[in-house]
Amino acid sequence: MSVVSASVILIISLLINKPLTLKIFLCLLTVTMIINCLSGSFVSVLLGYEKFRHYSLLAVGTQTMGTCLGFMVLYSGWGLPGIGMANIITVLVSGIVIAVVVYKSVCRFSPDGLFSEALTVIKQAAPLGITVILMTIYYRADFIMLSFMRGDTEVGYYNSAYALVNGLLLVSVTFSSTLLPRLSGYFTHSPEKLNQLYQTGLKYMLFFGLAAAFGTAFLAKPVYELIYPESYIPGAFALRILIWALALMFVNALQNALMIARDLKKWLMYLTGAGAAANIILNLILIPPYGFIGAASATVAAELITAAGFLIILRHNLPMKLFLSWLIRLAPAIVIMIIAIKLTPEIMIILRVIIGAVVFGVMLILTGGLNRDDFKTVMGLVSWGRE
């Protein structure tokens, strides 16, 4: 599947009438995609055996390395080819480490029976494979379209914001991937535990995502002044918009995991396709007049469409009354957090973030947004990781 996707991207990159740097960037992204697909097999083994501690450490290491290399490329001014090489180095090192960890600590692999079972596996996995291809289009089309329509400068602004969002997204991706095997197990023999685990996980993702969104909306410019050179400050406007896509991604990541656990692969494929189509259409409409701001807005709208589809399909796993009660308990915590951030404008940005996070957590406990049962569930997750 990765070879088919790579072939299409390479053909497009050779035929388009764009600068050589963009063509090189597309080719490098293609290599990144192939390596990611191969290393994904080893990641699945870690998750299938519930080696959560291994997976979490590797995921954090990969994201940290990718973020550091991305910042280094932006500071050095290496442009799109530099971003592409940073991606390749990150996924290559990560893939090698994951393969070694699986081989040494989990199980050894051999080619015996590989081809005899391949056709069956491909048929079962086809909807998920198509979903991955659609997700690649979903999350990369805006960069390519922005470069075509507005040039590489605006791609740089947009990528600077996306790099920060992508770093925070690691939390939801790791959390959802950790829950997937357990959700699958509960689906086969314990629907009540499935709903309980899903609802608790979704509440955490909703709370964390919205807290990050509101906090970043107020602190975007100071964060940029701390991390990036002055020339990248316009990207702060994109961050204020993209951060709302992050809040939706937090929720969507866990719903994605539940769709897989419940064997709703085809519905997941349809929803991802709808989101990708909406993203492309909205980018075509919004990028010409609004540039990277339009691309960020299109991403938020596409994530909102996907989230609505998830909630409709999974409505039996999450009563609407319960969802509304979460929002009611969340609102005071958000308001007090914003007030705390606004009242501390002169201190270091890191301290403002810490103060906001502490105030938010305390308020959630006081309003009953987080309770003893939630903490028991979290401690259960920790014990799975140790096992």
CA distance 27 to 36: 14
Q: What is the pLDDT of residue 383?
A: 53
What per-residue confidence (pLDDT) applies to 215? 93
Check if the beta carbon of residue 197 is closer than 8 Å to that of residue 377. Answer: yes
Q: Which of 207, 151, 182 is nearest to 370 (CA)?
A: 207
Q: 115: which 2 tokens?
A: 């081809």
pLDDT per position as a tens digit, 71-90: 788 777 777 788 888 889 99
pLDDT at 126 over 90: no
The answer to whether 294 touches 239, Cβ cutoff 8 Å, is: no
Q: Are 31 and 88 in contact (CB under 8 A)?
A: yes
DSSP, res 232 = G
pTM of the predicted structure, to 2 decimals: 0.77
Q: Are 80 and 211 in contact (CB under 8 A)?
A: no
Predicted pLDDT at 385: 46
Q: What is the pLDDT of residue 246?
A: 92
pLDDT in tens, 281-335: 999 999 999 999 999 999 999 999 999 999 899 988 888 889 899 999 999 999 9
Q: Where are the domains of the chain?
A: 1-109, 141-386
